[in-house]
Amino acid sequence: MLEAVRRFLDERGDLGCAPLLAMLVEQICGLDPEVEAEATAFGIRFHYRGALLVEISVFGALFIVRVGREQAIEYRVRGRTVALEALNRILEEYGELLQAPARQVGGEAPGTPVHSPPA
C-alpha cells in the first residue's frame, strides 16, 4: 500500500469508521497495480488509467463514497452492509474501466481523432 494511503489511514485511526474505512481502502488498493491514490485534506481519491474510480470523504463517524467518473453514485457509510454495497459498486466500476478502451477511460491520446472519417 502506498505510503500516502497508509498515512491517511493512520491519521484517522481513532475514528469510529476507521476499521471499515481501512477495509475499503485496502480492497481498492489491491485491485490493480495501476490504481493510483491521491490523499486530500478530507479524503482520498483513487484513479484507474487516468479516470476517477472512487472518492472517499471522511466525516468523523461516517465516510462518504462517491463512485465513478461522474461521482453519480454515493454511499454514506456508517456500517458494514453499506460498506460492502459500496465495494460491490466500486468493483463494477473497475470492471467497466478495465474493459473500456484507453482513450475512453482517461481521455484521448494526443493526436488520436475522436471520430474516424468514413472510409
CB 58 within 8 A of CB 18: no
32's grid cell: 490493480
Report field, pTM of the whole predicted structure over 0.85? no
Residue type, 18: A
Q: How many whole angstroms separate alpha carbon 9 and alpha carbon 19?
A: 9
Q: Express each pLDDT in 92-114 by its tens digit.
A: 999 999 888 754 555 443 333 33
CB 53 within 8 A of CB 32: no
Q: Express each pLDDT in 33-75 by its tens digit.
A: 999 999 888 899 999 999 999 999 999 889 999 998 888 899 9
Q: State percent of the chain over pLDDT 70.
A: 84
